[in-house]
Amino acid sequence: MSTVANATPSSLQPEQLNAVAADCVALEQIRVFRQLLVLRCGVVTVAIAVVGLLLGLLHTFAYWFSVGIFAGAPAATWIVERQRERSLRKKVVKSS
């Protein structure tokens, strides 16, 4: 982002600047969403792990499947965040 901020006004078209700014906002929203998702899914994962092990209410497959689903959601969001970050980096380099 510092490259775009330091660029001369004549070298950037308003459309390019708008696209980069929109991607920055989208990336920040994804980061906040991921952080909230990690917190919430982490609490559910720990609850499943503790209750499942202590009470033995879940079969082995159901236990690991539940833990995997709630641990996989933040991981998938992290992958999307990394893709957006790469895309933004390419746009910044291309526009400079």
Task: Give the whole-angstrom CA distance, residue 3 versus residue 21.
Answer: 12
Half-sphere exposure of 40 (CA within 13 A, CB side): 8
Report whether pLDDT(8) > 70: no
Reply yes or no on whether the pLDDT at 43 is more than 90: yes
Cβ atoms within 10 Å, residue 96: 14
CA 38 to chain centre: 10
pLDDT tens per residue across span 62-74:
888 888 999 899 9
Instruction: Copy the structure tokens of residue 26.
Output: 């989208």
Residue 28 CA to residue 26 CA, distance in Å, equals 5
